[in-house]
């Protein structure tokens, strides 16, 4: 016994204690109902003197080498389950495996020894009853989904009960509130928020967009071959390009001036560190709470587009295509919020079509005065001006002259407006403009 303890303490790893021969009863150490425990080595060192000697049947492994994902793959009982999810997208596979891990952890079984054929109706109800105390209905339906898959694969006699989700009652961002965000929020926040609202994309799709996918010069600007939920890919039209394109072009220039290697990063929406993560999108959108006075999420922007298109009188099938739903029932139930106002609007649309159409255009399609005030003043002559150094024509949004390579504009760190490169103080917010070290080495400077 002492030799085993001494050999265990010589390894800086995690010790897994398997009490196959343990007969001490549930009252001793409270460990008899487990089949295997993972105990950090410092805990083992302090507990060797108190644990019963019958449970010292140890296996020393490196914890970092065997993950729960790898141990699930070693389970022979789950081969058919892995064959089933192999046809799914990577995100779907990861979600299914994570839910399966939660089921195994709930029943306190080992990942390698778990046998899905031992599941029954009582275990299913016990899990749903326990999980319902802390989880949303959508999460509970994921657990039911995995039980349903296991029931079909292994022919289990389990009746699955899916809960009715209440997404149709969630809050959403109205179209006029989008203007409030554009007017009053930080410009980076406004650019991301407007893009999500006018495309209806989920955060996972937004962070996967690459610069080569932006078709901004097309007659109807769109994003090409966007990754959608479930691994599908479709072209996404950008609604209201007069709102989105100026903000999106500014965003590209702003990131290029802030991140040194932004030109080599393929993705459009990245954090200050150059990472394209969902947390970056969620953080920016959550900052809209300061403008609207209530919590804001990307889900509310996506639903806001669904409600807005419904108010415009779009057909449900067209709205389904816009939002990327596989089932039109999802569009109608969760992205419509039909009420008595819709009855009145449809009645007036049929009775007074010209008046209703005119009111819709005045409300949604005509540029808002506050949005025009928000934009920087556009120069005349087709959005062109001249380089102050070489005198050649350049576009208004260019920071560097493509001919002489000199810096002709800067972006203020505070108000994020374009400022003349020769100005030392921003005239909009009275902040001292910092000179970019990035351009000092790369620019051609006439030594004369």
Domain end marker among 66, 81, 109: 66
Indicate whether 264 and 328 sit together in one domain. Answer: yes
Domain end marker among 130, 165, 200: 165
Alpha-carbon distance of 237 to 215, in angstroms, equals 10
Query: What's the CATH code of the domain at 157?
Result: 1.10.150
Q: How confident is the model at residue 55 (pLDDT cuts 50, 70, 90)?
A: very low
Alpha-carbon distance of 294 to 90, in angstroms, equals 34
Give pLDDT, residue 311. Answer: 87
Indicate whether 194 and 334 sit together in one domain. Answer: yes
Indicate whether 255 and 279 sit together in one domain. Answer: yes
Alpha-carbon distance of 421 to 426, in angstroms, equals 10
Establish if 44 belongs to a structural domain.
Answer: yes
Paired with 407 in beta bridges are 400
If one compares 28 and 343, the residue with the highest pLDDT of the two is: 343
Alpha-carbon distance of 109 to 372, in angstroms, equals 62
Establish if 270 belongs to a structural domain.
Answer: yes
Q: How confident is the model at residue 415 (pLDDT cuts 50, 70, 90)?
A: confident
Domain end marker among 131, 165, 199: 165
- High-pLDDT (> 90) share of the chain, %: 37
* Structure-block tokens of residue 114: 């778990």
Paired with 14 in beta bridges are 61
For 297, the 3-state DSSP assignment is coil
Tell me the per-residue pLDDT of 161-172, one tens digit each, with 9 for 90 and over. 887 655 555 789
Q: How confident is the model at residue 132 (pLDDT cuts 50, 70, 90)?
A: confident
Burial of 226 (0-12, 13-18, 19+ CB in 10 A): buried
Number of helices (H), then strands (E), in the chain: 21, 10
Give pLDDT, residue 190. Answer: 94
Indicate whether 194 and 325 sit together in one domain. Answer: yes
Question: Is this model's pTM higher than 0.85 or not?
Answer: no
Indicate whether 268 and 320 sit together in one domain. Answer: yes
Establish if 156 belongs to a structural domain.
Answer: yes
Establish if 227 belongs to a structural domain.
Answer: no
Establish if 219 belongs to a structural domain.
Answer: no
Question: Which residues lie below 8 Å from residue 203, measured CB to CB, with a gap of 6+?
Answer: 196, 278, 281, 282, 298
Query: Which structural domain range is residue 121 located in?
Result: 69-165
Indicate whether 320 and 280 sit together in one domain. Answer: yes
Indicate whether 204 and 331 sit together in one domain. Answer: yes
Consecutive H or E run containing 419? strand 418-420
Alpha-carbon distance of 447 to 151, in angstroms, equals 78
Residue 216 has pLDDT above 50, yes or no: yes
Residue 27 has pLDDT above 60, yes or no: no
C-alpha angle with apex 225: 220 to 231, nearest 5 degrees? 140
How many domains does the chain fold into?
Answer: 4
**10 Å Cβ neighbour count for 176?**
11
Indicate whether 431 and 305 sit together in one domain. Answer: no
- To the nearest 10°, the Cα dihedral for 259, 264, 268, 273? -40
- Beta-sheet strands, E only, within 154-270: 214-215, 222-227, 233-237
Alpha-carbon distance of 252 to 376, in angstroms, equals 16
């Amino acid at each position: 016994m002492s030799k085993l303890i001494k050999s265990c303490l010589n390894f800086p790893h995690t010790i897994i204690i398997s009490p196959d021969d343990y007969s001490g009863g549930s009252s001793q150490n409270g460990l008899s109902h487990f089949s295997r425990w993972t105990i950090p080595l410092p805990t083992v060192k302090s507990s060797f003197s108190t644990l019963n000697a019958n449970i010292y049947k140890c296996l020393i492994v490196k914890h970092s080498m065997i993950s729960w994902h790898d141990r699930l793959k070693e389970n022979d009982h789950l081969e058919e389950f892995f064959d089933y999810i192999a046809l799914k997208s990577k995100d779907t596979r990861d979600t299914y495996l994570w839910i399966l891990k939660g089921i195994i952890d709930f029943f306190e079984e080992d990942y390698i020894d778990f046998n899905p054929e031992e599941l029954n109706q009582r275990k299913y109800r016990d899990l749903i009853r326990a999980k319902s105390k802390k989880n949303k209905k959508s999460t509970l339906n994921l657990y039911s989904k995995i039980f349903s898959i296991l029931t079909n694969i292994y022919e289990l006699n389990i009746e699955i009960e899916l809960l009715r989700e209440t997404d149709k009652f969630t809050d959403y961002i109205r179209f006029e509130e989008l203007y409030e965000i554009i007017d009053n929020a930080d410009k980076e926040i406004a650019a991301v928020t407007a893009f999500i609202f006018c495309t209806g994309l989920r955060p996972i799709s937004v962070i996967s967009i690459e610069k080569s996918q932006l078709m901004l010069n097309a007659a109807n600007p769109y994003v090409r071959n966007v990754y959608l939920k479930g691994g599908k890919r479709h072209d996404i039209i950008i609604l209201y390009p007069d709102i989105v394109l100026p903000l999106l072009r500014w965003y590209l220039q702003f990131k290029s001036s802030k991140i040194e290697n932004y030109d080599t990063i393929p993705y459009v929406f990245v954090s200050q560190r150059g990472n394209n993560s969902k947390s970056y999108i969620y953080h920016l959108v959550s900052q809209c709470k300061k403008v609207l006075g209530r919590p804001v999420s990307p889900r509310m922007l996506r639903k806001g587009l669904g409600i807005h298109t419904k108010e415009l009188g779009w057909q449900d099938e067209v709205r389904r295509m816009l939002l990327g739903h596989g089932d039109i029932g999802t569009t109608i139930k969760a992205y419509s919020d039909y009420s008595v106002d819709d009855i009145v609007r449809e009645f007036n649309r049929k009775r007074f079509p010209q008046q209703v159409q005119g009111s819709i255009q005045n409300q949604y399609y005509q540029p808002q005065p506050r949005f025009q005030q928000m934009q920087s003043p556009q120069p005349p002559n087709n959005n062109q001006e001249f380089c102050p150094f070489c005198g050649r024509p350049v576009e208004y949004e260019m920071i560097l002259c493509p001919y002489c390579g000199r810096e002709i504009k800067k972006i203020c760190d505070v108000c994020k407006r374009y400022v003349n490169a020769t100005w030392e103080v921003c005239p909009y917010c009275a902040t001292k403009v910092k000179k970019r070290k990035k351009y000092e080495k790369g620019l051609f400077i006439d030594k004369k």
